[in-house]
Amino acid sequence: MVAGSAGLSLAANVVHLDPKPAVFEAMLAGWTDQQKARFLRVETIKQRIAMIRRFTDFSGQYPWEWLPSEADAYFAQLNSGPTPAAVSTARGYQIALRMFCDYLVDQRYGWGAVCAERFGATPVQILHAWNTVVHVSEFEGRAGRRALSYDEVQLLFDAADEEAERIRRIGHKGALRAVRDAALLKLVYAFGLRRCEVVGLDLTDLRVNPKVGSFGRCGALFVRHGKASRGGPPKRRTVLTVPEMDWVVGVLDHYLDEVGVPVVTAQKTTKFA
């Protein structure tokens, strides 16, 4: 039997007092196992399972009772009201729901036979080309969102520096952390890093770029925790310091020379982030 099949997810020779929720929970457990077999991130799996539960609560029906009309009503509801869901969010939900339905209708997992025997109905794919978001644009964010202007970025950096100085001036603990956070904020902007990428940084990830010796030890940044492909390990990449962002060299040199010591917490020692 393959991971996530009905035979592995449902206990044999067990008569459930309330079979519908029992089979539904077994379906979710089986789908979880199938995704784990693909080495998907635990957080990704949790988010997908939570979405299926929300859709089930909305429809008031179980998967073997779903019809395309339930999906139409759910996503129409998401696209209504004063704050409709973003297009990218709706697509993510639709992908999760489509994948779950694909899993249920796949004969290799046996859920169709189980549902036909117990409930006289079988799951179907409820999403199709006519009730799903079409991906026609690379950018799908809200039109009102924009990048910060140079003046706004400078105000943000100044606020981070002033917070570190305020903590130092009043003698409270946390001044080193505030200086570190200010340096990290500027590093994130200069190198264009994601949150997971900056959290995984170490001081040794700063590299020399032999073609730009003036940047010294801050000529490049080795990112070890880049965004992974489906089921794959984190991608690694090297981001070069560009002339337009050469001001970050002075920021990092100051941090390394004056403040670059490990910051110890109760749980772990964090060297950079």
**Angstrom distance (rounded) from CA 202 to CA 204:** 5
- Tens-digit pLDDT string for the chain (273 aa): 667 777 777 766 666 678 999 999 999 999 999 999 999 989 999 999 999 999 999 999 999 999 999 999 999 999 998 989 988 899 999 999 999 999 999 999 999 999 999 999 999 999 999 999 886 566 666 667 788 899 999 999 999 999 999 998 998 888 888 998 999 999 999 999 998 899 888 888 999 999 999 999 999 999 998 888 766 788 999 999 999 999 999 999 988 887 765 443 334 444 555
* Cα 269 from Cα 262, distance rounded (Å): 6
**Contact of 187 with 251, CB cutoff 8 Å:** yes
Both tokens of 90, joined, read 């709706």
Q: Tell me what pLDDT residue 145 has.
A: 79
Q: Looking at residue 264, what is its pLDDT?
A: 38
Neighbouring C-beta atoms of residue 53, cutoff 10 Å? 12
Measured at the alpha carbon of residue 131, what is the angle toward residues 130 and 137, in degrees to the nearest 5? 85
To the nearest 10 degrees (0 to 180), the angle between helices 111-119 and 19-37 is 180
Torsion of CA 27, 30, 31, 33, to 10 degrees: 160
Torsion of CA 159, 241, 229, 94, to 10 degrees: 40
**pLDDT score at 140:** 60
Rg (CA), the chain: 25
pLDDT of residue 184: 92
Q: Looking at residue 258, what DSSP letter applies?
A: I
Is residue 111 within 8 A of residue 104, CB to CB? The reply is yes
Q: Tokens for 86?
A: 């973003």
Tokens representing 89?
């969010």
- Between helix 42-59 and helix 87-105 the angle, nearest 10°, is 90
Q: Which two tokens stand for residue 26?
A: 């077994």
Q: CB of 26 within 8 A of CB of 10?
A: yes
Q: Domains of the chain: which residue ranges?
A: 6-119, 150-270
Pair type for strands 220-226 and 269-270 = unpaired
Q: Can you name the CATH fold of 6-119?
A: DNA polymerase; domain 1 (1.10.150)
